[in-house]
């Protein structure tokens, strides 16, 4: 069980980084299109890219929390699920070719969210450093948020995203 949780967490850390990469690629294509057409891209594109960066941050954080068996793992998974649900709700009237794959990924993520909650209920998570639960939650939240912010900051800097 522990090994499964660590492997799933590592997968979602990687998935969060891939979401960052997709945003960088999308932004690069938008900049190229702006240069060719001499017209700015729609504001909706910027909003969608920011939503994706938020989603990537929550997915990365949830993966890191699960990989380290943090007691706050379900919080990050539920937040990422909510962001994905809101994003999918915005596309409910559109017939996109890749929409089926996006919905399938969301269903799989909901299963992983259920797994993270189940791990909490069964007692798989332990407070870090042998601290009591409340101080451990504060330490874990701060550490995971700091690493996620560093990864996102590095990615924005590295790909020269102008947000």
Q: Is the pLDDT of residue 162 over 80?
A: no
> pLDDT tens for residues 121-142?
999 998 887 878 888 888 999 9
Query: In this structure, are residues 39 and 89 in contact, taking their beta carbons and an 8 Å threshold?
Result: no
Task: Using alpha carbons, list the distances in angstroms from residue 36 to 2, 41, 45, 49.
Answer: 51, 11, 17, 20
Give me the residue spans of the domains in the chain.
Answer: 2-158
What pLDDT digit, counting tens, does each position of 88-119 carry? 887 766 666 667 778 888 999 999 999 999 99
To the nearest 10 degrees (0 to 180), the angle between helices 43-67 and 73-90 is 150
DSSP category for residue 92:
T
C-beta of residue 20 within 8 angstroms of C-beta of residue 152:
yes
């Amino acid at each position: 069980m522990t090994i499964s949780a660590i492997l799933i967490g590592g997968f979602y850390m990687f998935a969060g980084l891939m979401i960052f990469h997709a945003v960088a690629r999308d932004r690069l294509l938008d900049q190229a299109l702006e240069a060719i057409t001499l017209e700015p891209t729609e504001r909706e594109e910027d909003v969608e890219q920011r939503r994706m960066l938020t989603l990537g941050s929550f997915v990365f954080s949830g993966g890191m929390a699960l990989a380290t068996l943090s007691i706050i793992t379900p919080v990050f998974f539920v937040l990422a699920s909510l962001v994905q649900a809101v994003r999918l709700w915005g596309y409910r009237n559109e017939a996109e070719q890749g929409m089926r794959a996006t919905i399938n990924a969301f269903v799989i993520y909901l299963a992983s969210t259920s797994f993270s909650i189940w791990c909490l209920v069964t007692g798989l998570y332990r407070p870090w450093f042998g601290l009591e639960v409340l101080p451990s939650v504060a330490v874990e939240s701060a550490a995971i948020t700091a690493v996620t912010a560093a990864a996102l900051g590095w990615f924005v800097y590295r790909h020269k995203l102008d947000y």
